[in-house]
Amino acid sequence: MNTNTGVSAWITRPMLITFAVLVSLPFWIDSVGLYQYLGVEIVIWMVFALGYNLLLGYTGLPSFGHGAYFGIGAYAFGLSQLHLTQSVWLGLFCSILFAALGGAAVAAFLSHRRGIYYALLTIAFGQVFWFLSIKWHTITGGEDGLLNIPRPDLEFGVFSVSLDSNQALYYFALALFVVVVIGLWRLIHSPYGTVIKAIKQNEMRTGFIGYNVWLYKWSVFTLSASIAGLAGGMFAMAQESAYPDVMSLHASGFVVMMVLIGGGMVSFWGPVIGAAVYFLARDMLGAATETWLLWYGLMFMAVIMFKPEGIAGAWQSFVRGRDNSADVEKKPATG
Amino acid sequence: MDFLLNLAPHLVNGIGLGLLFALIALGFMLIVGVMEVINLAHGSLFALGAYFAMMIIGLEPEWFGPMGEWYVGLPAGLRYSFALVLAPILVGLVGMLLEYCLRGTYGKDPLFGLLLTFGAAMVIEELIRVFWGSGEQVLQTPPAISGAFIWNGLIWSSYRFFAAGFAIVAIFMVWLFLERTPYGAIIKAGAHDSEMVRALGINLSRLRLFVFGFGVMLAALAGIIMAPIWGLRPHVGVDAVIPAFLIIVLGGVGSFGGAVVAGVLVGLTVGLTAAYASQWSLMSMYLLLIVVITFRARGLFGKKSVLEN
């Protein structure tokens, strides 16, 4: 790892390539047989998956109820638009705030636990929120959820931008994605990031060195939950509704699958790849067969069995293999 | 007194439900103990057991000739008992296949086992949809155990008593098997320290295969008993696997008695809240969990285990 300074510490080449692909997406997505709204969905889930990977990939904490915070964000956005004032900024602020509060409360229970107990408790808490969303009719609208959430214009003080078209919405989501990517990249390469990676490797030793492991685990969960909340808020804005489905065990499982298939355990970009693969699989397999989940599930099982490092891991070992063979060719010449 | 009488049916229902939860949880716990795998497919296999039983009971195998006619002519009770034996065995075989897929994940992060079974749960649920459709199905119960009777001026469902009684017998058999046979001793030892068991010359991979098959058989058995109460939908498994999680955490991982006590506790909580605030009945068990975990971090009977590392 080279210690970068200046611009290269903030922006890297893979980042530029990703941004370039995503910025150009609206111009070619129609011609490959897909549709504009899919781009919005993909970018939102990329944000969700990136935030989730902070927990799973970098701190090694398996949360299996993360859909809950996504859902809290969605409901918070919807409720703020329906009952307070109509403003995107206020809505997203509420999404982040309430998801962070929910995450902080849950993390206070969780952060002493490890391993399987941790996973079990995240499932239990995720289900609590899911149940609340279904049963608390007066607030959440029950199984139907919140409908007809308005999508107000984006206010910048002196001027405002309408988000009615899918393209405008896409670029707004992309802008937030860029902020999240750069923010997370800096966080991971900060001293804080080093400590959470140490917790993943050996929690007990990290504690012995003198770090307050509980506080790190608590804060990383809260942070991850607030990013999930941001994604949820955007999702409610895009869907113009919020419903309990996104909080179910299945939705929570999907984000774990995205991160794993993409290769979040070994790469920063794993969640981004995984989210794209998931939605492409959904639309392409879904067009071909009604039981696309069956095939996606089998694909997922195959990934875990044969290449648990996911797509990014496969790419890394491919590159490493190529470099090694290049080294072998070089050696006789230099020696 | 009236109050107690009104409460009685809910108590019976709650205890019966709790015992069935405990049965699911026991299979789940055996797998966690010996393989350190959280089997998220447990619920789907629970549902699969009920679907297999439904198929076996409803089978009309004309193509077998006289054999088929003989089978169709059997009384409903016999066919039901036949399904009660055969369906868990079939599910056990499916479970063994799953264990075979899991072998690559042993010794790695336990997360991978959990994720593989999550994928398997999805696949099994979709397969159920393919074969039996997404709609609600009915598992026929023989007339001897269905229906209701009146006692002390209250209507009681016979099937609930059968379910509770069956669960007690099944749990007792599992206890006998684990505590009073050499195989049970090996399984318990395997849950305690699988490396040492291997060092003693016991074939660990065969043990794991067997334990996984046995654990999911218990799930299938519970599924067959539960199906007439809950109805039969492809995603019914989620309703079963989540209480099983809770019970394990509540009772403490690795404690047989803890699982049974926690199971009954959860069942009673669900049953009693169903009486007064039916909307919130399933919510109550999560609250119970949070209360217990706040005061006893490892559950009621939990000890420090290797799974926490």
Alpha-carbon distances of B221 from A9, B49, B226, rounded to whole Å: 58, 7, 9
User: CA triplet B159, B164, B167: central angle to 5 degrees?
Assistant: 120
Classify residue A69 as left (phi > 0), alpha (psi -120 to 50) or beta: alpha
Find tokens 């959280």 and name the residue.
Answer: B38
pLDDT tens digits along A90-112: 888 888 999 999 999 998 888 87
If one looks up domain A7-251 in CATH, what number appears?
A: 1.10.3470
Pick from A279-283, B107-111, B151-155, B203-207: least confident: B151-155
Nearest chain B residue (CA) to A289: B130
pLDDT band at B297 (very low <50, low <70, confident <90, very high): low
Flag if B108 and A116 touch (Cβ within 8 Å): no
pLDDT tens digits along B113-122: 888 888 898 8
Alpha-carbon distances of B91 from A324, B48, B54, B220, B286, rounded to whole Å: 47, 7, 13, 7, 29
Flag if B283 and A135 touch (Cβ within 8 Å): yes
The reported pLDDT for the residue numbered A223 is 93
> From start to end of chain B, where are the E strands?
148-151, 154-157
Closest CA to A175 of A12, A16, A43: A43
Alpha-carbon distances of A323 from A317, A318, A320, A328, rounded to whole Å: 10, 9, 5, 9
- Which chain A residues are within 8 Å of B122, Cβ to Cβ? 253, 293-294, 296-297, 300
Rounded to an integer, what distance in angstroms lies between the CA atom of residue A4 and that of residue A17?
A: 19
Flag if B122 and A115 touch (Cβ within 8 Å): no
Average pLDDT rounded to a whole number, residues A134-153? 77
> Cβ of B108 under 8 Å from any chain A Cβ?
yes
Nearest chain B residue (CA) to A259: B115
Rounded to an integer, what distance in angstroms lies between the CA atom of residue A93 and that of residue B309?
A: 37
Task: Enter the pTM of the model.
Answer: 0.83
Rounded to an integer, what distance in angstroms lies between the CA atom of residue A312 and that of residue A320?
A: 12
- Which chain A residues are within 8 Å of B249, Cβ to Cβ? 117, 120-121, 124
Average pLDDT rounded to a whole number, residues B201-228? 87
- Which chain B residues are within 8 Å of A297, Cβ to Cβ? 119-120, 122-123, 126
Interface test with A, best of B124, B293, B295, B296 (most A CBs within 10 A): B293
Flag if A62 and B129 touch (Cβ within 8 Å): no
The top-level CATH class assigned to B2-308 is mainly alpha
Among A64, A260, A291, select the one facing B130 at the smallest CB separation.
Answer: A291
pLDDT band at B60 (very low <50, low <70, confident <90, very high): low
Q: What is the DSSP letter of B59?
A: -
Between positions 223 and 262 of B, the ones with CB within 8 A of A are 238, 242, 245-246, 248-249, 253
Contacts 24+ apart (CB under 8 A), A138-141: A139/A75, A139/A79, A140/A75, A140/A242, A140/A244
Q: What is the DSSP letter of A154?
A: E
- Torsions phi, psi for A216 (to 5 deg): -65, -45
Interface test with A, best of B118, B134, B291 (most A CBs within 10 A): B118
Give the domain ranges of chain B: 2-308
Rounded to an integer, what distance in angstroms lies between the CA atom of residue A188 and that of residue B46?
A: 42
- Which chain A residues are within 8 Å of B123, Cβ to Cβ? 294, 297-298, 301
Interface test with A, best of B115, B289, B304 (most A CBs within 10 A): B115
> Cβ of A300 under 8 Å from any chain B Cβ?
yes
pLDDT band at A334 (very low <50, low <70, confident <90, very high): very low
| In contact, B224 and B53? CB cutoff 8 Å | yes
Rounded to an integer, what distance in angstroms lies between the CA atom of residue B178 and that of residue B190?
A: 12
Q: What is the DSSP letter of B65?
A: T
Find tokens 């058995």 and name the residue.
Answer: B221
pLDDT tens digits along A41-93: 899 999 999 999 998 888 888 888 889 999 999 999 888 888 877 777 888 88
* Amino acid at residue number A275: A
Give the domain ranges of chain A: 7-251
ipTM confidence score: 0.81
